[in-house]
Structure 1
């Protein structure tokens, strides 16, 4: 028989009475305590509360029986489906499952004494969120969003999972359209709100870079009165963002970047293949720290991290030391060494997402990375999506970065990347295919020991499959 009670290793997250009150639920069977919250049976742990959320493709009610069989303490189900599951386990019956999870998230925020930060930006929000998780965890119990749980279900799920005794909370907030951030940040009610940068992403939905800046600035609307807005001083839209912050509940605006006058300012950076050394002034005080990730873009975001640390009232010196533990999240610059006949291939997995700024940043890292004997610098690129009418020109414009970063070969996939492919000189053309799946064979056949390769594309372009194929192929060679 499966143990459905919270274990000693996982103390109760919510009592049954608290769940009933927060969600205005009707309990069928006992109202058990739960030690976690889940919406996915693949990752569900015994003792979790399973929310049967109805998504675009799947209805969570189809997985309630599996969740209970796997050890879920209870399931949250809609009133019109509840009769299907009676007798299979404990149920919390509600009018709408997603609304119930939002209500539980709000209850979590209401009970919490944690210092909270909300993070958004066109580029780097997940890496920044993970860096904040790392440096704040060294100073107290820290709760942060899993993966990129930053949308209308990811934010309330993350809130609902926050332990009551958390000292810090870090929430990533994303958007594809104007008006999406405001209701999410209203749930989070942060003490600090950070915008990493504003770049031409989601142009298809928003129409202009100024509209993107305004949509990102919605994050300031949810600040608690007197909170702190943290803004990239180097971004061309800084003044627009600053004015939005000043018209919000923020009591203070803090800036970061290389621009003179930034509160957290980088004065020098030493870029190495596997790390970055940063010299900076932190609110007027000199500091030097190491980040276990390469790239100027990572170093720039580290300044924002330290600005947030100060705004939260945490220890800046300890945070700077903890920066040495910050590594890239999977699919966002993770470095992988692949054994190959005669040596190895260095792979940068950037396959999770892409836009013009992040592709240029990835090429900058590649330019700083030494190659082996007879090795080459190679990029494998999939389409950048949601760029609207400017998409073809933005793809073609990457040819300048290819030349500036001394990239030897480009492999391109997708109809938009064909615009880049056509701009490349013949000697830099590796191969082109209509999609990532059809490009994979050419990439596998071309790589050799000594090469350094970056794979990058929007998530919808499926370049992650090329990374998986590389891992599989060269692991086989190693054996």
Structure 2
């Protein structure tokens, strides 16, 4: 069966080819994006383009199934734009912040005159079978001093990965895995693409039957285990079974550090069974609990009041301690935490109040647990009976997908005047007895309902958006904010 391409790395460079800022920072001046498809075993070609405000599409580029990388000039736009990738009918988006500089046309002419696309060769790493990928990547690592940090768990791995990246920034040449691309072949791709200059790789790992193989061939120097609980359960419905896959990453570690969340009962059970083996191989095994924060802060000279900053960011205290311990193991002892660390990840329970409308954007990802937490937060908002909730479908839920979505609708419907449901899974549910529900097949159909009618948006006191990023609701929520501001007269 064919597997879709994933863009495993977006490398931002200026006109001279020098690597630019890390993810999340503004891009200043002329330059380009180098898009590297992951290890591809499929039959699809792809289209890629820039999409600006309100979905305006700019020049479309084609990427063949044989592409190793494609160079895209930055668009002539100011502000936030989406990099839109369409593969086999599925759309993926990457949000970037563009601030064009001067002499743009001259710089772009140089970029375009260089090789715009490199085509795949049989001897190039990304065409190798899986076992060879691991082997070749291992050889490169053995000839490098780079350190590998794996971050895994059911909840909190992305925010932990990004918080550690920010903590180390400026102190080491750090490569942090892109967005939520977190599978074994993408791990290989990001190491191979950046091994020539990277000193530290912070790589998120999703549940996969390949994890024991990854742990065997590419064991980390540091393993951060955040939490085990509900999440994407298509791999295994039992958190313990998922946990066994995740802790297999430590099976071949020698002289490394394993930091784990002692407040997770399932994780505690698994670690207790493996601790002796890990220690016998010279690994340090460190447990962190939320109640450890006062002692941990005192040992590190951290202001106890910084707890409020950590919690307001959405990062669990245990995961914050994981980050600080990992930084210490990497030789970057943090005696004073930056006041703005960690920052809240965009589209993770992001609340905007515009002209009397509360807009809640949480379209980074979605699973049953995060959906329930989102609805609990929404239930505490005052909207005077004028609330609109937009829910996208949850992906990778396996055989229990319909039941999980049915339960989600039952929880959400009483909280909203209107409940908009986006995705094909909702078409399969028996929802005719709900009078406040409207179903949409995809985000484009939803857009037609939301935009173009000022009175429709002005009637709400609260609009809350939640769904997996692949549903396209991330860009919809951003466009909602822009449209509300335009209607209010804040922007043209």
Q: Same fold (TM over 0.5)?
A: yes
2:370 matches 1:358: yes
The 8 Å contact of residues 399 and 423 in structure 1, kept in 2 or not, is answered as: no
Distance in 2 between the 1:137 and 1:146 partners?
Answer: 15
Query: Measured at CA, do residues 329 and 63 of structure 1 come closer, stay the same or move farther in structure 2, by a change above 3 Å?
Result: same
Cα deviation, residue 394, structure 1: 3.2
Q: 1:363 to 1:66 in 2, by over 3 A?
A: closer
TM-score (norm 1): 0.67
SS in 2 for 1:118: strand
Structure 2 counterpart of 1:78, from 103, 121, 125: 121
CA distance 1:66–1:114, change in 2 (3 Å):
closer
Tell me which residue corresponds to 1:14. Answer: none
Deviation larger for 291-300 or 195-204: 291-300
Aligned residue number for residue 387 of structure 1: 397
Name 1:112's counterpart in structure 2.
144
Asked if 1:326 is matched to 2:342, the reply is: yes
Q: Pairwise mapping of residues 3-402 of structure 1 onto structure 2 (< 5 A)?
A: 7=16, 9-10=18-19, 43-44=33-34, 54-56=40-42, 57-58=44-45, 60=64, 62-63=66-67, 71-72=114-115, 75=118, 77-79=120-122, 93-94=123-124, 97-98=127-128, 105-162=137-194, 164=196, 166-175=198-207, 177-178=208-209, 180-186=210-216, 188-223=218-253, 225-243=254-272, 245-246=274-275, 247-248=277-278, 249=281, 251-258=283-290, 264-265=292-293, 280-282=294-296, 285=299, 287-289=304-306, 290-291=308-309, 294=312, 298-318=316-336, 321-322=337-338, 324-335=340-351, 339=354, 343=355, 345-366=357-378, 378-398=388-408
Cα distance, 1:354 vs structure 2: 0.5
The answer to whether the Cα contact below 8 Å between 1:393 and 1:419 also exists between their aligned partners in 2 is no
Residues 1:467 and 2:481 are matched in the alignment: no
SS of the residue corresponding to residue 140 of structure 1 reads: coil
Distance 1:222 1:396, change over 3 A: farther
* 8 Å contact kept, 1:44–1:72: no
For 1:376 and 1:174, locate their aligned partners in 2 and report how far apart those are by CA, in whole Å. Answer: 38
The reply to whether residue 458 of structure 1 matches residue 456 of structure 2 is no
**Deviation digits for residues 114-139 of structure 1, max 9, x if unmatched?**
44311112222222111110011153
Name the TM-score, length of structure 2 as normaliser: 0.65
Other structure's SS at 1:352 match: coil
The superposition leaves residues 164-184 of structure 1 with CA deviations (integer Å, 9 ceiling, x where unpaired) of: 554433111223x32x22333
Matched residue of 1:206: which SS? coil
Number of residue pairs the alignment of both structures matches: 398
- CA distance in 2: counterparts of 1:138 and 1:234, whole angstroms: 32
Q: CA deviation at 1:381?
A: 1.2
Partners of 2:125 and 2:133 within 8 A in 1: no
- Tell me, which stretches of 5 or more residues in structure 1 are unaligned? 12-41, 80-92, 266-279
Say what the alpha-carbon RMSD is for the aligned residues. Answer: 4.4
Where do 5+ consecutive residues of structure 2 fail to align? 1-12, 21-31, 46-62, 72-110
